[in-house]
Amino acid sequence: MSNYDVIVIGAGPGGYVSAIRCAQLGLKTAVVEGRETLGGTCLNVGCIPSKALLNATHHLHEAEHNFATMGLKGKSPSVDWKQMKSYKQDVVGQNTGGIEFLFKKNKIDWIKGWATIPAAGQVKVGDDIYQTKNIVIASGSVPSSLPGVEIDNDKGIVVDSTGALDLPKIPKKMTVIGAGVIGLELGSVYARLGSEVTVVEYMDAITPGMDADVQRTFKRLLEKQGLKFVMGAAVSGVETTKTKAKVNYTLKKDDSAHVQDADVVLVATGRKPFVDGLGLAELGVEMTERGQVKTDAHWATNVNGIYAIGDAIVGPMLAHKAEDEGMAVAEVMAGKHGHVNYDVIPGVIYTSPEVATVGKTEAELKAEGRKIKVGKFSFMGNARAKAVFQGEGFVKLIADAETDRVLGAAIIGPAAGDMIHEICVAMEFGGSAQDIAMTCHAHPTYSEAVREAALSCGDGPIHA
């Protein structure tokens, strides 16, 4: 059997990026992946396929609601669901194939199958045992359901995000449990496809933990698109017949019991680390109370030569957080200094409008007793946003009241997920609101709204 410097377990964004960086740093590297294609949840059944469906249904929405206003007359397109799913799979195929190409280019071996770790320095796949100096656990996460709710993606009635990406037909009525990222992205896909979508959420605000201004505006804009919300509702179970489901929930405010009928129920109540079958308990790898692999500041577990990154460890379950950790742990194993700045990890929701955040929220900073300035600018004052019917969001920039250093931001508006990075770069460099305000921004762009929010932290915006 071959001897490796590194064997990475899992070929999601954390694992495949880590493997490529290891290979670039001269380490002999293999990746164990049991799926038929590389790319993990993100490329196969997560970020990428959902973005294809969001793109297709965004165009449908534009055709139905905005084309006539722009002088584009004619019948709105009809939906060929089979073709839309095939387009989605094609996008997935191009991306997973791309990773296979990158593995060949970087001379990374793909060991096909599911790995166990019989001992430090060994990885077993099927009957084969591979020797390796280091192991990186990048095994990701799986949807976590609720007690009393059984997910069956094959039946297509009570589904998780994987099932929701491949429903046999567009449901008339969909109930989404959980107003988090998955629930809102996929809920808005089906709302645009004509489903009557009701989101049942335990908390009193959508996207828990996010900036309160964004939560309010985001909910209002989604309601305008037809999504209905039941807030403060604890789902206790789902009953199914052959073709339908009933979601049972209790309203927290008065303890009253309710039932919501649906053709399809999407359970989007979070994800949990996936470490089944790795043999971590037998190895004595320490875990957190929430079932995550415990690591130190260099992604090392308590067992020598075993590292862990991504959704399997503590922190936000985001592909780009896993990628950063993957690159950093490769540097560590190569004897360099890998680093991840956890204070500057953006979060994006790819609805329309998009929502993007970075750093701390106004509420968090106030709770810390920090003196802050808040600069807010509405896209109503941005010519470009108005031209695409997206004047309703805003950019909110938060800076230290004394030093003017940028501490956080939230954007709800067109291309927010791309615009947030200018703020991320400013934060990485310890930049101030004034640094952003003094940077020339091309006109007309959405990014001018970021500059205006930065100006609002100082002498004031121009277009408000």
- CA-based end-to-end distance of the chain: 68
Residue 443 annotated in active site? yes
For ligand NAI, the closer of residues 234 and 464 by Cβ is 234
What's the token pair of residue 394? 């805003």
d(CA 31, CA 20): 10
Q: What secondary structure, in 3-state letters, does 4-70 show?
A: EEEEEECCCHHHHHHHHHHHHCCCCEEEEECCCCCCHHHHHHCHHHHHHHHHHHHHHHHHHHCCHHH
Single out the segment in contact with ligand NAI by CB under 6 A; choices: 13-21, 227-235, 295-303, 424-432.
227-235
Q: Is 410 in the site for ligand NAI (CB under 6 A)?
A: no
Are the CB atoms for 41 and 28 separated by under 8 Å?
Answer: no
Residue with tokens 């802050």: 372
Q: Which residues contact 261 (CB under 8 A, 6 or more apart)?
A: 173, 175, 244, 245, 246, 247
Closer CB to ligand NAI, 26 or 147, in the complex:
147
Draw the binding track, 365-404, toward ligand NAI (x: CB under 6 A; -: no contact). ----------------------------------------
Three-state secondary-structure class, residue 143: strand
Closest approach of Cβ 332 to ligand NAI, in Å? 25
Q: How far is the CB of 54 from ligand NAI (least distance, A)?
A: 10
Q: Which is nearer to ligand NAI, 350 or 377 (CB)?
A: 350
Catalytic residue among 59, 258, 339, 443: 443
Contact criterion met (CB below 8 Å) for 365 and 407 = yes
Distance separating alpha carbons of residues 29 and 410, to the nearest angstrom: 39
Residues counted in the chain = 464
Which is closer to ligand NAI, CB of 273 or CB of 461?
273
In degrees, rounded to 5, the angle at the alpha carbon of residue 231 between the alpha carbons of residues 227 and 236 is: 110
- Residue 87 makes CB contacts below 8 A (sequence gap 6+) with 52, 56
Contacting ligand NAI within 282-321 (CB under 6 A) = 317-318
**Which listed range, 58-66, 94-102, 129-137, 262-270, lies at the site for ligand NAI (CB under 6 A)?**
262-270
DSSP letter string over 171-194?
-SEEEEE--SHHHHHHHHHHHHTT
Compute the least distance from the CB of residue 230 to ligand NAI, in Å.
9
Judged by CB, which is closer to ligand NAI: 171, or 347?
347
Beta carbon nearer to ligand NAI, 201 or 452: 201
Query: Considering only residues 130-149, where is the footprint of ligand NAI by CB under 6 A?
Result: 146
Q: Which is nearer to ligand NAI, 116 or 357 (CB)?
A: 357
CB burial of residue 234 (10 Å; 0-12, 13-18, 19+) = middle
Out of 33, 201, 263, 362, the residue judged to bind ligand NAI by CB under 6 A: 201
Options 14-22, 98-106, 108-116, 269-277: segment touching ligand NAI (CB under 6 A): 269-277
Tell me whether residue 120 or residue 345 sits nearer to ligand NAI (CB atom): 345
> In the numeric block, which tokens belong to residue 353?
């409008």
Residue with tokens 């740093």: 25
Contact present, 358 and 408 (Cβ < 8 Å)? yes
Instruction: Tell me how far, at minimum, the Cβ of 326 lies from ligand NAI, in Å.
Output: 17
Nearer to ligand NAI, 136 or 205 (CB): 205
Least distance CB 41 / ligand NAI (angstroms): 9
3-class DSSP assignment, residue 366: helix
d(CA 224, CA 81): 24
Q: x/- binding map, residues 322-361, to ligand NAI, per CB under 6 A?
A: --------------------------xxx-----------
* CB of 350 vs ligand NAI, minimal distance in Å: 6
Structure tokens at 332: 């560590």
Cα separation, 327 vs 343, in Å, equals 17
CA 433, 437, 440, 443 torsion: positive or negative? positive
C-beta of 182: minimal distance to ligand NAI in Å? 3
Q: How far is the CB of 3 from ligand NAI (least distance, A)?
A: 36
Give the one residue of 67, 110, 202, 389 binding ligand NAI; rule: CB under 6 A. 202
Interacting residue with ligand NAI among 269, 295, 351, 378 (CB under 6 A): 269
Count the Cβ atoms, other than its own, within 10 Å of residue 403. Answer: 12
At residue 129, the 3 state secondary structure works out as strand
Position with the least CB separation from ligand NAI: 180
Token pair 């064997």 is found at 7
Query: Considering only residues 178-197, where is the footprint of ligand NAI by CB under 6 A?
Result: 178-183, 185
How many residues sit close enough to ligand NAI to count as binding (CB under 6 A)?
26
Considering only the stretches 91-99, 172-180, 276-284, 335-343, report the one whose residues sit in contact with ligand NAI under the rule CB under 6 A: 172-180
Q: Give the catalytic positions in this structure.
A: 443
Contacts to ligand NAI by CB under 6 A? 146, 177-183, 185, 200-203, 208, 233-235, 268-271, 317-318, 348-350
